[in-house]
Amino acid sequence: MNEQCYRAVIAWFNARPAAKQAAYLVSRGAVGAVYLLYITLLVILAWQRNPLWFGAAGVPAAAFVVGTALRAAIDRPRPYVTLGYTPLFPKKDTGCSMPSRHCFSAAAIAVAAWGCSVPLGIVLGVLAAVIALSRVLTGVHYISDVVAGLAFGSGFALVGWQIALAALRVCGL
């Protein structure tokens, strides 16, 4: 998207308070739902003493640490800084736009959850896509930021999950 597209989308939402409120609720709600479902999964796995807990907890945590370091190294300016507009919900951050941390976290959680429960993984994958769309529509990320976030989180988690499963096999769990 270019400056004109971001401005048009943001103007459309600003002219429609109900749509702006809905965008806010969807954006925050999708993030909240991902974390609520993820914590619930971890609690259930821990309660069951399921060894998959280690992968389900460790893989997204590792993705978060590595992804955050990657963001800092790239330090891409936010689109509202580069293109000079105010996002739908103003932020103070000026950099670290690529890859989107919301997106790579949600994608890594979805892949790890998929390894424990396919239906839950699907739900979390859909929520990750909703988060990606909301980050672009609210003007805080470029499309490439969210695509990179989804790809990084998914790819990292796919590899990490295989390593976690191999480690569990070696340990006889």
pLDDT digits (tens, 9 = 90+) for 127-162: 999 999 999 999 999 999 999 999 999 999 999 999
Mean predicted lDDT score pLDDT of the chain: 97
Backbone angles phi, psi at 150, to 5 degrees: -65, -40
Q: Per-residue pLDDT averaged across 95-115, rounded?
A: 97
Number of CB atoms found within 10 A of residue 26's CB: 16
In this prediction, residue 7 carries a pLDDT of: 94
Residue 87 and residue 140 in contact, taking contact as beta carbons nearer than 8 Å: yes
In this prediction, residue 1 carries a pLDDT of: 84
pLDDT digits (tens, 9 = 90+) for 21-69: 999 999 999 999 999 999 999 999 999 999 999 999 999 999 999 999 9
In this prediction, residue 122 carries a pLDDT of: 98
